[in-house]
Copies of this chain bind each other. A is one copy, B any other.
Amino acid sequence: MTLHGRLNNLSATAKAKVHKIDIKQHSTDIVQEEVAVEAPANIYINKKHLVTLLSSPSMLNELAVGHLFSEGMLKTKDSIDELLIAGTDIHVKLKTGAKVDFDLNRFGRFVSSACGSLVDYLRLLAQINSKITDQYSVTAENLEQMVTKLNNESIVFKMTGGIHSAAIFENLKMVAFAEDVGRHNAVDKALGASILKNIDLHRSVLVTSGRQTADIVAKAAQMAIPISVSISGPIHSGIKLAERVGITLICFARGKRFNIYTCPERVKLS
Contact = CB atoms under 8 A, between A and B. Distances in A.
A191 B234 CA distance: 27
A198 to B, nearest CB: 8
B65 A195 contact: yes
Contact of A191 (B33, B70, B162, B218): B70
Copies assembled: 2
Interface string A113-136: 110000000001001100000000
Interface stretch (A21-29, A54-62, A139-147, A242-250): A54-62
Nearest to A194: B66
B219 A70 contact: yes
A137 interface: no
A156 B56 contact: yes
B53 A182 contact: yes
Interface string A163-198: 100000000000010111110110111111101101
Contact of A113 (B53, B106, B182, B213): B106
Contacts of A161: 232-233, 252
A191 B69 contact: yes
A111 B113 contact: no
A47 interface: no
A89 interface: no
Q: Contact residue range for chain A? A: 35 or more
Contact of A222 (B70, B124, B233): B70
A10 interface: no
Given A13-B156, A108-B111, A109-B182, A36 B163 contact: yes
A228 to B, nearest CB: 12
Contacts of A128: 72
A73 B170 CA distance: 24
Given A77-B196, A188-B70, A34 B182 contact: no
A222 B189 contact: no
Contact of A211 (B111, B162, B232): B162
B181 A63 contact: no
A71 interface: yes
Contacts of A112: 106-108
Contacts of A181: 36-38, 54-56, 211, 213, 235
Contacts of A215: 106-107
